[in-house]
Every structure is written in structure tokens, then in C-alpha cells.
Amino acid sequence: MAYMCFFFFFFFLFINISWSESAQMVPAIFVFGDSLADVGNNNHIKLSTLKANFPHNGIDFSGGKATGRFSNGKNSADFLAEKVGLQISSPYLSLTSISNKSSVFLSGVSFASGGAGILDGNSNPFGESISLNKQIEYYSTVYGDIVQNLGSVEAQKHLSKSLFAVVIGSNDLLGFFKSDSTLRAKSTPQQFVDMLVSTLKDQLKRIYNLGARKLVIVGVGAIGCCPAQRIQNKTGDCNEEANYWSLKYNEGVKTVVQGITSELKDISYSFFDTYGVVLDYIKNPATYGFTEIRAACCGLGNLNAKVPCLPISRYCSNRKEHIFWDFYHPTERASSMFVDTLFDGSQQYVHPINVKQLIAI
């Protein structure tokens, strides 16, 4: 009997180990971006007011506590990590003082920061967030640590199999199209979008030079349809100008990334058409189980978008039926659905290949 127990113990141990190894599809994910992917970096910026570490954020997260995610629960970065069999990424700024950070870096880390933009200062002039340029600087430190830990050859093998997710651009565009923007006096919308795309191109090349070979580029959504933009119209309709230039930005990014992969033959990518997916949800809400496509779940005022999600704000009970959690950000369910499509969706919304296909390369 003891022999049989011993046998079954090792049999199930072997099964569990095998399942664990097969479930982990990539060695690491490195996340760059804004509040759509921030897992708590802004919590560690002392002077920043751009935080979500208070109720009612996190009401559906494990333990029901706010973590710094701009969501009622998990965000897209969390769901992507889970999809590929990894633990949820740690925020980089939470690791600076720990002694064993090298082992954490090997499985990836998040640099994403609420309020971050492609351009330094434009989306956040008071330094309350980590710009994409600064995020890449932080990653260069992580890169050096990994090379020192593994050696240059093994480090490149490790990084070439890892995913590098970039979720950026929304804050730059929202800053340009907000009602009191001063940016319009400096450039036309076309000039501004061209500057964003050109700057992002250089930033992606910097990440490539630091070992990235598999990019997951998340396009901006239909930002004119977020509650904060809708309340600028008396009708509550989407801001079509903001949507138009969001679309133009995405087209520019796709062209740039295609050019990079033509120039640098050893890089591959997935581009997620967030814009198209969000509009599909808005136009066909019942198909996706949504009943509220205009108003934020958490906030105050018209469309719950006059006041952000604060402890004094009210919040909805039917959160799974809302696209928007607050006046800018999606609900946990919407984020989960985004990642389902990103991971193994068709070329209608993920091209030239989805993340599952990207991993297999």
C-alpha cells in the first residue's frame, strides 16, 4: 500500500510538473505602456496624483483591494500574462530595493505607468508618470542585469523568445484633443500624429537593440468614445475628430512596424486593432453581453464622467455589462475579452499574426 502511495505521489508530481512546463509558453513578458497596463508603478511615484490605489478600484481584484490598476479588477497586462502561463508581472518600481530582483527580471517586469505617453511631458507635464523613454531606460538596466546573470548569448536566446508588449499613445492623443489643450496652437493634428509615429519608431528600435524580437503592439482604441470625450458633446455621442485621428495614428504605427520588420529580418510582431474591437462592442453590444456602452461604471455626473472613480463616487453593480470602468478605462471583463482576441483572434483584429502564432515562431 505504501509503495502504491509512493508511486501515485510521484506520478501526480510528474503530471503537475509537465503541465506547468507546457502551460508556460514564453520565458518572460516585458510590458511598456500607460494606465491601460499599469500594475502599480505609479504607487511608487511619491508626488504623483495619477494613482488608482484607492477604492473603488480593485473591487473585483483578489481580496477586493485596490492595487494601482485603473480597473475594477485585472487589466489587459494581467490577462496576457495568464494566457501564456506566467505570473502577473511585478511593477518595476516595486523591485528597486529588493535583493533578489534578478530572478524576477528573468520572468519579465512591467514598466507601464498611468499617464505615460510617447512624447516626454506632453501627456503629463508635471512628471507624475514614467514616459516611454524613461521606461526604456529602466528596461536597459534590466537588460544589463539579465546579460550579467545569463551571459550575452543565453540572454539573447532568453529575450528572443520573450514577449515585449507596448500599450501606448492614448494619453498623447487625449492630451491633444481635450477641450483646454494648448497643443493645437503648436501643430496640426496630422503633424502631431506624424511626430508620435516617428518617435515611437525610434523607441521600438531601441527596444530591439536591447534584445526584443517578438513585439505585441496594442493600437489605441476609439478614444473619442470614452465617457470623458462623450461628455464634451451635448448629445453624448463619440468625438469623431478624436476617433478619426486615433485611426490615423494606428495606420501610421502599422506602417512603421511593417517597415521595421522589413529592415530588421529577425523581428516579428502582432498588432492589435483595439479601435476596431471597441467600435464593434459599441455597435453590437448585445452580441458581446454589454448593456451600457456610453457611461462609466464608476464616477459622478453626466455619464459618470464629470468626476473620476474616487471613494466618494458611486459604482455600478452590473460591471460585467459595462465597457468602461471609469471615464477612460475598460472594465475587467472588457480587458479580458481584448486579450482573448489578441491571443488567438483572426486577422480582422490582430495582424499579421496573433500572439499565439507569434509565440510559435
Which residues are catalytically annotated?
35, 326, 329
3-state class of 96 per DSSP?
coil
Q: DSSP assignment of 35-54, as one string?
A: TTT-SSGGGG-TT------S
Q: How many CA atoms lie within 13 A of 68 on its CB side?
A: 23
Alpha carbon distance 282, 78 (integer Å):
24
3-state secondary structure 186-214: CCCHHHHHHHHHHHHHHHHHHHHHCCCCE
Cell output for 55: 477604492
Buried b (16+ CB within 10 A) or exposed e, 325-351: bbbbbbbbbbbbbbbebbbebeeebbb
Alpha carbon distance 353, 340 (integer Å):
14
Q: Does residue 9 contact residue 2 with C-beta atoms inside 8 Å?
A: no
